[in-house]
Structure 1
C-alpha cells in the first residue's frame, strides 16, 4: 500500500473490482461473472477490516494500559519474585512421540533492576534426568556480561574447575539467550516497544486453536519478538521468538502468559508456559512478588575472580535452543564453541585418536564420534551436537582418508545431543542407519526447514535413504566388518550397539562413558550393555564411548561378578 493510498483504493486495486458498465463498448454489455459478483460483495468487508485493524502502537498502548498504565510501569525500579519452575525436554524421551521428559523441578528467587537491566537469580535445581542431583547456584546478568557462582552443570568448564570457589563467566551464547528470556517476560519490553514505534510492524493475526491473536513484531538489534495480544483484555498472551533447534531446524518458541495479578497498580503474569513448536518445555509459577525492593550493595556485582575478560553477548545466527535446553538437564558446557571448552587453552579442540588400524575416535569435546575406514568408503557412528561439529569431523576424515566418501552415518539413538549434526553428513551423501521405529521420525526431521541454521546452507534432504535396524545389520567389504545391534535398555528404544570386528572394539553412547569412574555396582544402563553384548554374540576387548574415552570391556564383567557375589 502506498503512503497516500486509502484502504479502499488499495483493496480495490488488489481485487480488481473496479468494473463499471460504462466502460464496456455499446453492444458488448455483459453482467459480471459469479467470481466478480462475489468479490464485489466481499469488498466492504475487506475495506472494513483494513479500516479498523489497530496500528501496532495502539495494540502496545492498550497492553500497557491493561498492565497498569505507562505512568505506573515507568516508575517501577525493581521487581522481586519467588517462584517454581518445571523444565522438560521433548528430545530426551524414550521413544518418538512420548510426552516431553521432566528433567528438573526447581525453586528460584530473582531480583531485577529494570532500569539497569541487571538481574540476580538464585537457584535450587532438583534434577531428575539424566542424574538425580540438586544444584544450588546464582546467576548474575548485566547488559555487558553474565556470571555463575556455584556449580550449575555436570559439564564444568576449565574456569569453573580452577576457581577456588566454583564460579565462571557465562559464555556469550548463554548470556545472549539469558538476556533474551529475561526481557521476554519483563514489563520493560512493552515500554521499549512503545518508545520505539519505528521498530514495530503489524503481523497477520496468529491463529492458535480457536483463538486469533492480533500480533506485532518488534525488532531491536539482535533481539526480535512477535507479541500476540489477547483480543478481549488487550494483555500480552504469547511472546514468540524465531529459534533454531539442532534436530527440528527452524522452530518457534512461545511463552504463554496467564494468571495476571495486580499489585501496587501494576499487573504481571503469575504463570508462564514455554513451548517449542507447540510442545511444552517449561512451566513457571510466580508464588510471591514485590515491586521496588531496594537491592543490597553488591547485588549485581560478579565474583571478582571471573569478572575480567567475561564475554559479551553473542550475535548473529545462533544455536538458540541448545544453550537453553541443555541447562534443563544440567549438562550444559558453558562455552562459545558448544562442542568443546573454548577457554581450556592448549587442550581445547576436537581431535582424532587412532584406536586401531582404520579406526578413529573423534574426541576433545563433550560428545564423540567413531570413524571406520572400509575398502572404498567410510562409516561414521554418531553425529553429535551440531552440524558445525559434523563439518569438522567430515573435513578431518577426508584429510585422514582422502578419496573415501562417507557412505553411512549410524546413529546410536535419536537424542538431540547424539544426532544433532546429522544433516551435514547427509548433505555429503551419507545414508542414514537408525534403530527400528525411528525412520519416520527422521523423515520428519529432514523435512523441517533450516533457513536459520548457523552451520549449513539450505539443502534438500527428501531423497535421503534411511535404513532401520530391527535386530542386527552388518557392513562387510571382504576385509572389515562393522555390525549394528539393537539392544533393550532403559535410555532409548532405538539404541544401537556398534561393533568393529577386526579391532574387537565396541561403541556405546550414554549407557556407559568408558574411561570415567565406574559406580560401585551395576546400574540399569551398564546391565543393558552387558546383556546386549552377550545377546549379540560379540567379543569386545574395549569400548569407545559417545562420552568419555576408551576402557576395557572386562571392567563391566568384573563389576557384574562382584555384584553377584
Structure 2
C-alpha cells in the first residue's frame, strides 16, 4: 500500500512539474525515477543482467526502388534471436532468413553477429561470394552501427546507463528542436514488398496517381509483377508511430552523435518514444524515431513487444517480439567469438558508424568509413579500383587526353575523396572531368559531392537530375 501511495504521489508531483513547464536537473532526476519505476523499478533493473528476445523484423530500405528518388523496399522478414549480456557488454544476433534465389525457389540463410564491447564478428556464408570465409571480423563502422541499433531498440539499456551515470542527462533542447530530412509520400511510393530475383519484377504497393503515370511505359511492363493500390499505407504507418509529444514528460540523454530524447507517459512511466538524429549519405541530417508499444510484464520487468523505427518519418524497422526470457542460462561458449578470428579496432571508422548507423545497416556490404583503395590496371590508362575492406562497389578510372573519367563514384563522400586523391597521384595534373553514375540506388549514387566540389560534370539519366541535384544542394549538416 505504501508503494502504491508513493507511486501516486510521485506521478501527481510530476504532472505538476509537467503542467507548470519547469525544467531543472532535479526535475529530470524525478522523471528518471518515474521511467525506472515504469520498467519495473530499481531492484528489478539492477537484477537484469541478461535477456533474450525472439522476434520477426521487417526491414525497409530507402533508395532501392525502381525509380530515381522514389520507393521504399521491404526485405524478407527474418526470424531473429537477440541475446544481451548486459554485464559483459555483449550482444549476439542470430538471423534466419528465407531468400528468393536467382536460380529459382528459396534458400535458407543463417547468420550470427557477435558484438563484444567495441569488437564485432560475423558468421555467415556470403551470398555474393565476395568474402569467402564464413567466420570473419566485422569492420569497426559496421560493428558500431549494429551496436547503436540494438541500443535504440532497447530502452532498458538506456535506463541502466542513466542509473549508472545520471550525469548523462542534459536539459539542452537541441534533441527536440532541430528537424532533419522528412520523406514525402511521393518519395515513399511505390513500396516494393517482393521481387522476383530471376526477372527483377516487383510486387508493389502504390497509389492510383503513381499507377496512372507509370502504366503504359516500357519500363512499367518490365518492372511490375503485381500492384496493390493502397494510398493510405504510408499514412497508417505515420498514425501508428505518432504521439502527442506535448502530453509527455521528457528526458534528454547526451550522445556522441546527437542528443536522444525520451518521451515518457506521465501516467504509466513507460517510454513511449525516443527521438534522435543522425546522418545519411543521400539526405544529410535525418531524424530517427523509435516507438515502443504493446508492453508486457515478464518476470517483474516491462518490455515492449512491438518496436518501430522511423527514418525521416518513413518505415525503417518493425520488430514484432514473440518471446522474451529474463536472465536466461546460456552455454559457456554462447558469447565467445569465432576461434582464430582477430578483430582490429579502428576508432575513426567506429565513430563514422555511429553517425551513419542506418545507412550502414541498410547497405551492410558497402560500409561508410574512409577506405584504403586497391587497384588493377586493366590496360594502359584504364584502372579498376576497389575498397579495402571490400565493399562490393567497384570504380573504373579511364584516362583521356585532357582529363580522367570516373565510372561509379562509390557509396559515400569519404570514398569519393580517396578516389580523387588516388587519381591525383596516378595521373598528376589531370582533373576528373566527368563522373558517370551507373544507377540511382543509394549504395551506388551517394558519393558524388566531392567530385562536384572539384568541378566534375555529372553524367546521369535525365530522369535522375532532381535526385542528384538534391544531394548537391542539401542543407549544411548540424550532425556530422
TM-score, length of structure 1 as denominator length: 0.61
Tell me the distance in 1 between the aligned counterparts of 2:23 and 2:405.
Answer: 62
1:98 pairs with 2:121: no
Q: State which of 135, 145, 148 in structure 1 corresponds to 2:122.
A: 148
> In structure 2, do the counterparts of structure 1 residues 299 and 130 end up closer, same or farther at CA, with 3 Å as the change threshold?
same
Match of 1:201 in 2: 170
SS in 2 for 1:412: coil
Q: State which of 158, 169, 173 in structure 1 corresponds to 2:137.
A: 169
The superposition leaves residues 497-522 of structure 1 with CA deviations (integer Å, 9 ceiling, x where unpaired) of xxxxxxxxxxxxxxxxxxxxxxxxxx
Match of 1:418 in 2: 444
Tell me the distance in 2 between the aligned counterparts of 1:129 and 1:67.
Answer: 43
Shift in Å at residue 272 of structure 1? 1.3
1:230-249 correspondence runs (5 A): 230=265, 233-249=268-284
1:295 pairs with 2:327: no
> In structure 2, do the counterparts of structure 1 residues 125 and 57 end up closer, same or farther at CA, with 3 Å as the change threshold?
farther
Between 1:272-281 and 1:373-382, the stretch displaced more is: 373-382
Task: Structure 2: give runs of 5+ residues left out of the alignment.
Answer: 1-17, 178-241
> In structure 2, do the counterparts of structure 1 residues 292 and 420 end up closer, same or farther at CA, with 3 Å as the change threshold?
same
The superposition leaves residues 336-373 of structure 1 with CA deviations (integer Å, 9 ceiling, x where unpaired) of 95757xxxxxxxx32252446x4443345522223334
Tell me the distance in 2 between the aligned counterparts of 1:427 and 1:350.
Answer: 24
Match of 1:350 in 2: 374
1:89-128 correspondence runs (5 A): 89-127=61-99
Q: Is the 8 A contact 2:257 2:355 kept in 1?
A: no
Tell me the distance in 1 between the aligned counterparts of 2:141 and 2:24.
Answer: 42
Tell me the distance in 2 between the aligned counterparts of 1:448 and 1:123.
Answer: 36
The superposition leaves residues 48-71 of structure 1 with CA deviations (integer Å, 9 ceiling, x where unpaired) of 434799832222222111111122
Shift in Å at residue 84 of structure 1? 0.5
1:53-64 correspondence runs (5 A): 55-64=27-36
Give 1 or 2 for the bigger CA radius of gyration. 1
> In structure 2, do the counterparts of structure 1 residues 53 and 309 end up closer, same or farther at CA, with 3 Å as the change threshold?
closer
Match of 2:10 in 1: none
Tell me the distance in 1 between the aligned counterparts of 2:304 and 2:158.
Answer: 14
Shift in Å at residue 446 of structure 1? 2.4
Shift in Å at residue 91 of structure 1? 1.0
1:175-190 correspondence runs (5 A): 175-186=143-154, 187-190=156-159
Tell me the distance in 1 between the aligned counterparts of 2:421 and 2:306.
Answer: 47
Tell me the distance in 1 between the aligned counterparts of 2:261 and 2:386.
Answer: 40
Tell me the distance in 1 between the aligned counterparts of 2:435 and 2:61.
Answer: 25
Shift in Å at residue 403 of structure 1? 3.0
> In structure 2, do the counterparts of structure 1 residues 297 and 93 end up closer, same or farther at CA, with 3 Å as the change threshold?
same
The superposition leaves residues 115-137 of structure 1 with CA deviations (integer Å, 9 ceiling, x where unpaired) of 22222222102345999643112
1:512-523 correspondence runs (5 A): none
Task: Structure 1: give runs of 5+ residues left out of the alignment.
Answer: 1-45, 341-348, 455-565
Match of 1:491 in 2: none
1:446-485 correspondence runs (5 A): 446-449=472-475, 451=477
Shift in Å at residue 180 of structure 1? 2.0
Shift in Å at residue 295 of structure 1? 1.8
1:397-546 correspondence runs (5 A): 397-449=423-475, 451=477
Tell me the distance in 1 between the aligned counterparts of 2:31 and 2:405.
Answer: 56
Q: Is the 8 A contact 1:244 1:320 kept in 2?
A: no
Between 1:435-444 and 1:204-213, the stretch displaced more is: 204-213
The superposition leaves residues 291-319 of structure 1 with CA deviations (integer Å, 9 ceiling, x where unpaired) of 1212222211122221x455377666404
SS in 2 for 1:99: strand
1:85 pairs with 2:53: no
Match of 1:555 in 2: none
Tell me the distance in 2 between the aligned counterparts of 1:51 and 1:171.
Answer: 41
Match of 1:33 in 2: none
TM-score, length of structure 2 as denominator length: 0.71
SS in 1 for 2:48: coil
Match of 2:314 in 1: 279
Q: Is the 8 A contact 1:112 1:119 kept in 2?
A: yes
> In structure 2, do the counterparts of structure 1 residues 313 and 262 end up closer, same or farther at CA, with 3 Å as the change threshold?
farther
Q: State which of 385, 394, 418 in structure 1 corresponds to 2:411.
A: 385
Q: State which of 49, 57, 68 in structure 1 corresponds to 2:21.
A: 49
SS in 1 for 2:424: helix
> In structure 2, do the counterparts of structure 1 residues 99 and 220 end up closer, same or farther at CA, with 3 Å as the change threshold?
closer
> In structure 2, do the counterparts of structure 1 residues 300 and 436 end up closer, same or farther at CA, with 3 Å as the change threshold?
same
Between 1:412-421 and 1:171-180, the stretch displaced more is: 171-180
Shift in Å at residue 262 of structure 1? 1.4
> In structure 2, do the counterparts of structure 1 residues 172 and 235 end up closer, same or farther at CA, with 3 Å as the change threshold?
same
Tell me the distance in 2 between the aligned counterparts of 1:233 and 1:97.
Answer: 41
Q: Is the 8 A contact 2:366 2:443 kept in 1?
A: no
Match of 1:332 in 2: 365
Match of 1:75 in 2: 47
> In structure 2, do the counterparts of structure 1 residues 211 and 239 end up closer, same or farther at CA, with 3 Å as the change threshold?
closer
Tell me the distance in 2 between the aligned counterparts of 1:127 and 1:247.
Answer: 27
Q: Is the 8 A contact 2:52 2:81 kept in 1?
A: yes
The superposition leaves residues 171-222 of structure 1 with CA deviations (integer Å, 9 ceiling, x where unpaired) of 2222222222222233131122133222211254848675435443323668
Q: Is the 8 A contact 1:175 1:312 kept in 2?
A: no
